[in-house]
Amino acid sequence: MRAALKTIELKKIYSRIAHRYDWQHGLITAKSDQRGRRMVVDYTVHPGDAVLDAGAGTGSSGILAAHKAGAAGSVTFFDLCDEMIAVAREKVAREKLGAAIDFKSGDMCHLPFADYHFDVALSTYSLCPLYDPARGVLELYRVVKPGGRVGIAYSIESEQPLMKWLADRVEDIAWLIPSLSMGCRAIDVLPAIQQTDARIVMDKSIGIPLWPFRVIIIEKPDGF
């Protein structure tokens, strides 16, 4: 796994690209990013849920979640970078959302929420730049209630040797320009998930052959 960029560097990059992020991420992923967000939300969020979107960025997943959670639900948009949150705020203001909305900044490896606080915790593409993706997913798991769900989408390495070789070369170039790579790299958090008592509800690969994503949905046993 490629070493993560420093958090302070990530903060600078995302603050610089916040206004073009949706366009740039969509272009790099040939728009397959939105499919991952939809899957994660469709398989986790129910009406009335309290949802955390961690590493929410410009809020694309959180907005989908807010539509699904409805007037009885709530969504907390959480991100490291204030400029990304500012764009999320603008987008939220343009939507007709019934759900209660909250914005918070901080580090998703140290979530400022109590255990069992949310019904659902989401991370779409925000574990990829994280300095400790395993810790990030365990934090998501910590803050969901028994019976709650965690939905994540993240970049993985292609299983096709030629595609992997090609992706590595493209990534080598992209990583010379941090605002292009956005610090995103292929990761694997399944081993961390497997150390918990989580039930894996779904584990699917999506995306284009050059940039595959893994979508994982897990559920916390409800203790009965």
Ligand X SMILES: C[S@@+](CC[C@H](N)C(=O)[O-])C[C@H]1O[C@@H](n2cnc3c(N)ncnc32)[C@H](O)[C@@H]1O
Residues near ligand X (CB under 6 A): 7, 10, 14, 25, 37, 55-57, 60-61, 79-81, 84, 107-109, 124-126, 129-130, 182, 184
| 137 closest CA partner among 148, 161, 117, 153 | 153
Tell which residue, 153, 149, 117, 115, has the closest CA to residue 133. Answer: 153
Work out how close the CB of 31 gets to ligand X at its nearest, in angstroms, rounded to a whole number. 12
Q: Which residues fall within 8 angstroms of residue 172, CB to CB, at 6 or more apart?
A: none
Q: Which is nearer to ligand X, 29 or 74 (CB)?
A: 29
Quote the tokens at residue 145.
Answer: 């209630």
- One-character DSSP codes across 72-132: T-EEEEEES-HHHHHHHHHHHHHS---SEEEEEES-TTS-SS-TT-EEEEEEES-STT-S-
**CA gap 79, 54 in Å, rounded:** 6
Nearer Cβ to ligand X (160/205): 205
CB of 19 to ligand X, least distance (A): 13
Least Å from the CB of residue 87 to ligand X: 9
- Which residue sits closest to ligand X, CB atoms considered? 57
Computed from CA positions of residues 193, 195, 201, 205, in that sequence, does the dihedral angle turn out positive or negative? positive
Shortest reach from residue 156's CB to ligand X, in Å: 15
Write down the least CB distance from residue 32 to ligand X, Å.
Answer: 12
Least distance (Å) from ligand X to the CB of residue 78?
7
Nearer to ligand X, 162 or 171 (CB): 171
CB of 6 or CB of 199, closer to ligand X? 6
Nearer to ligand X by C-beta: 101 or 182?
Answer: 182
212 and 206 Cβ atoms separated by less than 8 Å:
yes
Which residue lies nearer to ligand X by CB, 72 or 90? 90
To ligand X, the closest distance from the beta carbon of 194 in angstroms equals 23
- C-alpha angle 156/162/163, rounded to 5°? 35
Residue closer to ligand X by CB (options 61, 158) is 61
Q: Which of 219, 7, 212 is nearest to 121 (CA)?
A: 219
